[in-house]
Chain A
Amino acid sequence: MSTRISVGITGAGCICGAGGTLGECMDALFEGIRNPMSPKRFTDAHPITYPVFEVREESIKKDIRESSYTSFSGKLALTAAYEAMNNAGLDRTVLKKKRVGVCIGTTVGSAMNNEVFYREYYRRGTPEMAPIVRFLRNNPADLLAREFGLTGPCQTVVNACSSGTDAVGIGASWIQSGICDIVIAGGADELCHVTYNGFISLMITDTDPCKPFDRDRKGLNLGEGAAMLILESEDSCKEREKLPRARVLGYGSSADAYHLTAPHPQGEGLKRALLGALQCSGKTAVDIAFINTHGTATPDNDHVEGKVLYELLPGVPFISTKGYTGHTLGAAGAIEAAFTVVCLEKGMIPGNAGFTTPDPELPASPVATTTAITGCTAISQSLAFGGCNGVLVLSRGED
């Protein structure tokens, strides 16, 4: 990779189980508050309840919340995008003069698996079409482009659980290469009965609140949410006299080429993505203040991630924030990138919720309590079904 990246992040927004805005989420993280609960928006027939991290619907603005044309993933995407736009000081007048693209990661937000529609089709074969119309109108990138009147490229990334990270990396690459002045990049995903069943069937879901990197971890909790970052070119920032909050300095991506649902046992793909992102950023291990890991709390993921981090970034503090948000799938990478930005600004990271007992099989443990960090560069990384690995190198804005 010969091209270096340095792309400003001038705004950020987030909604998830931890809070309705990025500020609310960070308060919850630093206060150690988490709210796993039984699913409220759907019922299920499992003999045991698997906790999830649901968004409080009241956190969504009334006009968005009550729109019957918008999917829940779409509502989450719009909520986070409006917060990010306001945070960046952008409005439609400014956007109209710029080449603005949209790059959004999702899984459920792009899946034609509406259960109400399909159960009716299965039963008698002729369901009404409203759920399919809603699906066709709610491709997340298209939805945001139409909402804000944007004319640049739209891309919905469906790389499973690394989609949000990949969307931010690809958006930054569009800015760096001059395709866009501004990109709304992020991820959005809703909880649904279909994915709930899917993850339970894979036997990687915990019946208790998840415990990333803990010796007794048993699996993930699902979550939902969205986060959006406003990525902006140097010229656009100068023109608007806007100082970036943070920067995307590097993006690495790789395939494990190993297994559909399990990570490579030695983390070879993750290593390639990490090294690629570091090379792209011009940074080395000594520059990294902390790592916001994928940290799903599944035995395999945390084992592989822990080993790789110890090998490539020994001694660098790391956390998983999924103990506060659950695994938000296609949104996870974007939510974690937004959290990383705020942690860099604050100069501290929250404790890894759910971690109490070090795993003797892991060479290192996450940070258990709120901890001050040294340095201004951090890594946010995701691993996904299909063996996709995505890694972002992010820095504080002034550096």
Chain B
Amino acid sequence: MEIFVEGIGIIGGFGAGVEGFSAALLNGKSPVQSVFVESEDGQKQMPAFLADTARLDEFVPKKALRRIDHYAKMALLGSYLALEDAHMLDIDRKSLGIVIASGYGASNTTFAFLDTFIEGSDTHSSPTHFANSVHNAAAAHVSIIIGITGPCLTVSQFDMSVPSALITAVNWLREERVERVLFGAVDEYCDVLGYCWRRFFGENDGALVKPFIFDVLQRKEQFSKKSHGVTQIEPFLFDQQTSIPGEGAAFFLLSRKEDSGKKYGSIKGVDTGYRSRLALPDPEHTFFILGADGSRDCGQRYGQQVKKEMNVSSYTPLYGGFPTNMAFDMATACLSIKEGKMYALPTEISCPPSLTIETAEKKLEGSQICCLKLGAQGDSGIITIGHP
């Protein structure tokens, strides 16, 4: 049974909606903002791709959003934009399921809740912050505000949250549990994550703490004194740390039938797991979008898995590094299928000669697109989008 993508709702550093995202893909650029993170030398400035949810006002009265945090707002806006894009804002809510993937959940509210009893005492703990700190708060607000009463699921699998959650979304459709699924991914930036980012990935190439190497538990690490010189993600420099944190939401209206006329293609395959050898689609008929986002720990695995015969590209320089950015790769694949072309590589990306990188716009001519995400711990995710 084919599963179709009928609508896309997407928010990130590039703006909100398919139009903004398409413009970033066509221009090969996306605006980068700044954040300040704590360090032993005081606050340091760091680039980040941040999302704005102002467009939510188009769909929901401000009053209804009073107690909803940024994390849930991004999910809510992504959901509305996906329904609008599919011309299905009046969709039957009873036969619609929700599946949301998130690497870290509502980070800001999680720590805001801790603030309430650290600043006061245990008796000052905020029930509102607590209720909104649970990972499924975004799915809950989406279901309450849009009125969706079908099955509801939130998955948190770090870098593999997106393919893992998509497996279940596709399965629900194949089981005919629902007519459609609003499938999405959301992650937010917060100061604590910025601090962790700086400690793990260091400054320039000087990271001392590796999140997936255990000896950190035995030794006391020190900050690198180097300045943060990264201004651009270099997805293909696998041995360098060039990642820039990001946030956003990417939502998709999935269906067993294609009614919207948008022709975003269908899901040809989705898989995830811990495997040393990946069953990748035939490179002769496939373009690969690499989820490499400048993280050196993961980059080394791309270096091992990506072969010369694979035509590869990467668009993470347009949206940044965060656990669920594979959903943005998937959105890029869907838009490429719709337009019948692979987008040109974002501007000023280094292209090592050992790889076959598609730098210019190229016609798809019937090829499918495989989004490939490799985690630092040996985990992998594959989502393949093709013509119905």
Contact = CB atoms under 8 A, between A and B. Distances in A.
Interface of A: 1-3, 44-47, 68-69, 101, 107, 110-113, 115, 118-119, 121-122, 125-126, 128-130, 132-134, 136-137, 139, 141-142, 145-146, 149-160, 166, 170, 173-174, 176-177, 179, 193-194, 197-203, 252-261, 268-269, 272, 276, 384-388
B117 A130 contact: no
A194 B113 contact: yes
B40 A126 contact: yes
Interface in B88-111: 93, 98, 102, 104-105, 107, 110-111
A334 B384 CA distance: 33
B111 A386 contact: no
B134 interface: yes
A139 B161 CA distance: 11
A157 B148 CA distance: 19
Nearest to B164: A155
B150 A197 contact: no
B38 A125 contact: yes
Contacts of A170: 153, 168, 171
A386 B131 CA distance: 9
B127 interface: yes
Interface in B180-235: 192, 195-196, 199-200, 209, 211-212, 214, 216-217, 220-221, 223
B151 interface: yes
B40 to A, nearest CB: 5
A139 B158 contact: yes
Given A254-B151, A386-B140, A69 B160 contact: no
A129 B193 CA distance: 12
Given A110-B156, A170-B168, A253-B151, A121 B38 contact: yes
Contacts of A125: 38-39, 195
Contacts of A146: 274, 377-378
B157 A113 contact: no
30 contacts: A2-B176, A3-B175, A44-B122, A113-B114, A115-B114, A118-B111, A118-B114, A125-B38, A126-B40, A128-B220, A136-B212, A137-B212, A139-B156, A139-B158, A142-B158, A153-B167, A154-B274, A154-B379, A155-B167, A158-B156, A159-B152, A160-B134, A176-B175, A197-B117, A198-B113, A201-B126, A260-B131, A261-B131, A386-B134, A388-B140
Contacts of B217: 68-69, 130, 133-134
Contact of B123 (A46, A110, A133): A46
A125 B43 CA distance: 10
Contacts, number: 248
Q: Classify the secondary structure of A's interface with B.
A: mixed
Interface residues of B, number: 81
B266 interface: no
B158 A173 contact: no
Nearest to A195: B130
Given A47-B123, A132-B196, A255 B152 contact: yes
Given A153-B271, A154-B272, A386-B134, A202 B127 contact: yes
Nearest to B42: A125
B175 A201 contact: no
Contacts of A198: 113, 125, 127, 130, 133
Contacts of A2: 175-176
Contacts of B196: 129, 132
B131 to A, nearest CB: 5
B130 A260 contact: no
The interface centre, meaning the residue of A136, A137, A160, A197 with most chain B CB atoms within 10 A of its CB, is A197
A257 to B, nearest CB: 5
B134 A3 contact: no
Q: Which 4 A-B pairs have the closest CB atoms?
A: A386-B140, A198-B130, A125-B38, A253-B151
Nearest to B121: A45
B272 A158 contact: no
Given A129-B216, A254-B150, A257-B149, A155 B168 contact: yes
A179 B167 contact: yes
Contact of B157 (A119, A137, A139, A194): A139
Contacts of B216: 129-130, 133
Nearest to B193: A112
B138 to A, nearest CB: 9
B130 to A, nearest CB: 4
B333 interface: no
Interface in B250-279: 271-275
Given A112-B110, A157-B153, A387-B144, A69 B175 contact: no
B358 interface: no
B153 A129 contact: no
A154 B160 contact: yes
B165 interface: yes
B135 interface: yes
Nearest to A194: B114
Contacts of B125: 197-198, 200-201
B154 A159 contact: yes
